[in-house]
Structure formats: C-alpha cells, structure tokens
Amino acid sequence: MDLFYGTTFEEHVTAFKKDLRELAKQYSYDFGRKKIYIAYGQPSHVGKCLMVLGPPIGTGVPFQDKYSNYLFQTANDFGITNVVLSSCFLIPIEQVSKNNIKACHPTTEKLVEIFRPRLIVVLGEDAQFSFVKRKFILRDHHGKIIAKSNTGIDVVLSYTMNYFLEKSEYEDPSYKEFVRTADWTLISNLYKERL
C-alpha cells in the first residue's frame, strides 16, 4: 500500500475520501457535508474478501437497495460471506460515461489496495471499464476472468443484480437462473481457491 495513505485501515479510508472529494471537483460536484460512501462491508473482511464493483453510484443512498441485498444473498447462496460492495464510479452525479469510469481507474485501484480482495467481480457493461480499455460483450464473457488489477487480482465479469431481478414477459426466468448459477459457481470456486 501507498505509505501516503497511512498505516491503519481507517487512515487509508480517510485519505481515500479526501482524494475523492478533490476528484469530485473535476465533475463539478461538491460533497459538502454529505456522507461519502465508498463501500459496504465489514472491516474484518479486509484482506480476505470478494470485492464486487457495481454500476455507478448514482444519486440515491448507495448499497441499501434491493439489488445490493440480492447481491449479498446471492454471494451467501454460493458460500461467500466476506463481500465488500463498491461502485465503479463513486461520485454521485446523474450522467456517467465509460470515459469517466476509465478515468477513475487509479481511484478504483486505490480502493483495491485498501480492501485487498482475493477476487474482484465487476457487474455489468459499465463496471468493467474500471479495469479494461476495450469492451467485453457481456453475453459472451460473463462468468469469465477478463483482466487483472494492478496488484494481480483476477477480475471476473458478470451481470448486474437488476438483470436477475427484473422480469419481462419475453425473458425466460430459468435461463436467468442458469446464468446466475453458472457465474456464481465459478466466482465461488475462484474465490475459495484464493483463500
């Protein structure tokens, strides 16, 4: 870890939030006195977690919605309890482009350094740009390792939780469950191999 970021987990998080405040100014956003959300998980999971990066944080309260709850339930269904959930873009603005996410790659890597996960999962077509420059088609590459972080941690691509929860009369729910089972079985196996 970067010595500038201190020695304790709390010092790392405080320094990260300070840097995030500065970065937000480039997007004409001021956190002011608002709470800065960088991740959801337990500090005891640091160094042994599955880190999941979802879509951009958006303007609501992050990590406290039905999609986040379903993510934790899914991980638990596949035997993973040490999960840290974050976002591919942590500044709560309305419109986030792929280029914005790519530009925040150093921020994402700093987050990886802080939480030291055993495996990283990126959910959806946007989150993958935290680690890759070119797009991996989700339907062709879900459930596969698509990259490595700067620290050598494998990055797996999967569908967002809203894909599994949103229902359409044109979609086959059994196919979605097949995809969820296939992806999360692989994720679980890869994660457990790295413990």
Structure tokens at 27: 């997007």
Supply the CATH number for residue 142's domain: 3.40.470.10
81-125 pLDDT per residue, tens? 999 999 999 999 989 999 999 999 999 999 999 999 999 999 999
- Residue 93 falls within a domain, yes or no? yes
- Residue 6 falls within a domain, yes or no? no
In the chain, the number of structural domains is 1
User: What residues make up the domain containing 89?
Assistant: 39-193
What is the predicted pLDDT for the residue at 53? 97
51-90 pLDDT per residue, tens? 999 999 987 788 989 999 999 999 999 999 999 999 999 9
Structural contact between residues 39 and 107, judged by C-beta atoms closer than 8 angstroms: no
Prediction pTM value = 0.93
Q: Give the residue among 122, 123, 39 at the shortest CA–CA distance from 82.
A: 39
Euclidean distance between the first and final Cα of the chain, in Å?
Answer: 20
Structural contact between residues 123 and 160, judged by C-beta atoms closer than 8 angstroms: yes
Which amino acid type is present at position 185?
Answer: T
Average pLDDT taken over every residue of the chain: 93
